[in-house]
């Protein structure tokens, strides 16, 4: 590792330890030439997830965007932020475990709806109303009838 002070390419590792999250390793180093100490971090480089939108555009996966959509759906509902963050983490992990680094926005929406249905039915309906772009009350009624049929089957 090159010294940030003098540019010397050789440094000695004095200490290595995982970061708090365990996602990176913190290394304390000492330059062989000038003797100054510095810290480096080593972490796994992940391939970017590319989302294919309905209109064919491609953009990078944005976990904050997904979390914000879930927060809007869960507004005034008794759902802790930590549960929504875990939900987003789980969805991102499922997407990264796929063989392709490209994913349809529909797949993300379906995963989010599936998880919201288990968490809170009102939030599920709110999210679905935006995600499925209901045009009128009839669309909502059909959706609610399907949901009610699904709930009755479980009982």
Same domain, 60 and 123: yes
Across the chain, mean pLDDT equals: 90
Same-domain pairing of 54 and 83:
yes
pLDDT at position 44 over 90 = no
Based on the fold, state whether residues 65 and 123 are members of the same structural domain. Answer: yes
Name the domain count of the chain: 2
d(CA 155, CA 147): 13
Are 103 and 29 in a shared domain?
A: no
Q: Would 152 be classed as within a structural domain?
A: no
Do 109 and 73 share a structural domain?
A: yes
Classify residue 140: in a domain, yes or no. no
DSSP assignment of 41-71 equals EEEPPPPPPEEE-TTS-EEE--HHHHHHHHH
Residues 35, 56 within the same domain: no
Q: Is the pLDDT of residue 139 over 90?
A: no
- Residue 20 confidence (pLDDT) above 80: no
Domain assignment present for 19: yes
- 35 and 95 together in one domain: no
* Residue 94 forms part of a structural domain: yes
Mean pLDDT of 72-88: 94
- The pLDDT score that the predictor gives to residue 45 is 77
Same domain, 114 and 59: yes
| Higher-scoring residue by pLDDT: 10, 140 | 10
Is 5 contained in some domain?
A: no
Tell me what the mean pLDDT of segment 31-47 comes to: 91
* Percentage of the chain lying above the pLDDT 90 cut: 65
pLDDT, tens only, 103-137: 999 999 999 999 998 899 899 888 988 877 778 88
Q: Using 50, 70 and 90 to split pLDDT, how confident is the model at 72? A: very high
Do 57 and 38 share a domain, yes or no? Answer: no
Structure tokens at 59: 């953009």
| Domain enclosing residue 87, as ranges | 50-133
**Chain position carrying tokens 């399907």:** 146
Mean pLDDT of 44-49: 84
């Amino acid at each position: 590792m090159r010294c940030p002070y003098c540019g010397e390419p050789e440094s000695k590792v004095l200490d290595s330890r995982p970061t708090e999250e365990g996602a990176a390793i913190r290394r304390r180093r000492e330059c062989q030439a000038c003797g100054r100490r510095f810290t480096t971090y080593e972490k796994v480089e992940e391939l970017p997830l590319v989302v294919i939108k309905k209109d064919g555009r491609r953009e990078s996966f944005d976990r904050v965007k997904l979390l914000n959509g879930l927060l809007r759906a869960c507004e005034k509902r008794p759902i802790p932020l930590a549960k929504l963050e875990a939900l987003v983490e789980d969805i991102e992990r499922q997407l990264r475990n796929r063989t392709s680094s490209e994913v349809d926005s529909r797949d993300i929406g379906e995963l989010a709806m599936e998880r919201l249905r288990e968490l809170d039915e009102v939030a599920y309906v709110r999210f679905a109303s935006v995600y499925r772009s209901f045009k009128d009350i009839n669309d909502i009624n059909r959706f609610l009838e399907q949901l009610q049929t699904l709930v009755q089957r479980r009982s």
